[in-house]
Amino acid sequence: MQSGPREIVTPFRPIPLDVPEGMSPNEFFNSTENLNDLTQNNGLLQNAEGLLLYRKALGHSNEFDTSIIYNTSQGILDPLGRPVRRTQVPEPVKHVWNRMNQIIIAYMLERYPDADRSLVLAGEASLDATWPLTSPGVPSIRMLHNHFIVFDKAKLRDAPLANPNNPNLTDGGQHSLFQAYMRDVYRAFFDGLELKILKPCQAGSCRIALTGYPQGLPSWEVQGGVDGLKEVRFWAEYDIILKGFLDFYRTFFGQVSTRNAPMPQGVHFPELVENKLLFNNDFLKTAKMVRDRCITDAKYANSIRWQPAFKQLIYRNDAGKLIVTISQNSIGNAITELLGVVVKRLPDAEAYGRDEPALIEKLLEVRRRLVEADLGEGIPTQYWGAE
């Protein structure tokens, strides 16, 4: 079997939504009106904290695919003012969010126990507030949301190889700015974080053999496996990884923007930033290289995502271990593409209808477990009731 990224086809039922004249689809998808429609037609569960579990109408996989969104659409009307990453979420909300994550991931691993048969992943993407709403790569719902996805590995094996030059597959490895020019600095910075449950993986040891991904990204094994996700400490460390990444990203692009810039305000690990980054010649040399190109190359400068952009996920590797990884998302790739899975969505109501009953059955079981754990109340739609 040849190892390489796969491109799979996922059918969906066309969404009967009319975008008002003069608005782009991305602009409309961020409106309160659209979020109301999402709740009414695809909502599964919501709670007092503003967290909404919903069926992905344009999903990655019809085997299992759901999301939780922190629905601030009515409370914060400015799309650029909404929380777009975990570090911006109030602690009481994040506490509930973490419990929901733990229960859904545990269900996925219970329902799909064989790592040889199923690729299981869960994670979230940053929604970069520095890009216009209409720019390519900007998610269609500009609020913090995460993904829970399962792919059938048999279907992945049968799928054709994806084009390895697809720009969405070049986020890690030799193509990434961080990996190509600051690999040692990047790793040393992460090594300075205080982690107990998360154990650094050796380079290449956590790749999915079928796809050969992820490539070049720092990864950590969750010691204790699924039971580790029940520990408050795990979710604290999951945040530590993110906070460390944010510090690195903000410090680097601060130096790109302004030569010899001071340490960014509000960094999480100031001593680490000072000792590992602001006195490191490779780090500052790379910043100069990018800055010099920005000055002379308008197209390149316009492509820079000046504020932190990332994908952070938990997935099960071939050995059945849970792995955490984080990506410097400079391109805007889908979360599945970090694991070498390119999804081609095709409108096909009939094909989607064949998958829908089994998919909904699993989503409703997840909802039942969340309701039982006092994490929300069911939402009735035309496809399912409130119970």
Q: Does residue 133 contact residue 27 with C-beta atoms inside 8 Å? A: yes
Nearest to 246 by CA among 221, 220, 271, 264: 264
DSSP 193-250: S--SSEEEPPTTTT-BTTTTBS-S--EEEETTGGGGGGSHHHHHHHHHHHHHHHHHHH
Instruction: Identify the weakest region by mean pLDDT among 22-31, 235-244, 368-377.
Output: 22-31
Please give the structure tokens belonging to residue 98. 């973490």
Number of CB atoms found within 10 A of residue 177's CB:
15
Instruction: For residue 115, give Cα distances in angstroms to 154, 172, 201, 215.
Output: 11, 23, 18, 19
Would residue 374 be called left, alpha or beta, if left means φ above 0 and alpha means ψ between -120 and 50 degrees?
left
Structure confidence at residue 305 (pLDDT) = 80
Name residues whose C-beta falls within 8 Å of residue 165's C-beta, 6 or more positions apart in sequence: none
Q: Does residue 144 contact residue 51 with C-beta atoms inside 8 Å? A: no
Q: Does residue 288 contact residue 260 with C-beta atoms inside 8 Å? A: no
The chain-wide mean pLDDT, for the chain, equals 89
Structure confidence at residue 174 (pLDDT) = 41
Alpha-carbon distance of 322 to 191, in angstroms, equals 19
Alpha-carbon distance of 369 to 110, in angstroms, equals 13
Alpha-carbon distance of 282 to 30, in angstroms, equals 40
Structure confidence at residue 329 (pLDDT) = 64
Nearest to 377 by CA among 69, 55, 39, 46: 46
Structure confidence at residue 130 (pLDDT) = 53
Tens digits of residue pLDDT in 253-310: 999 999 999 999 999 999 999 999 999 999 999 999 999 999 999 988 877 888 887 8
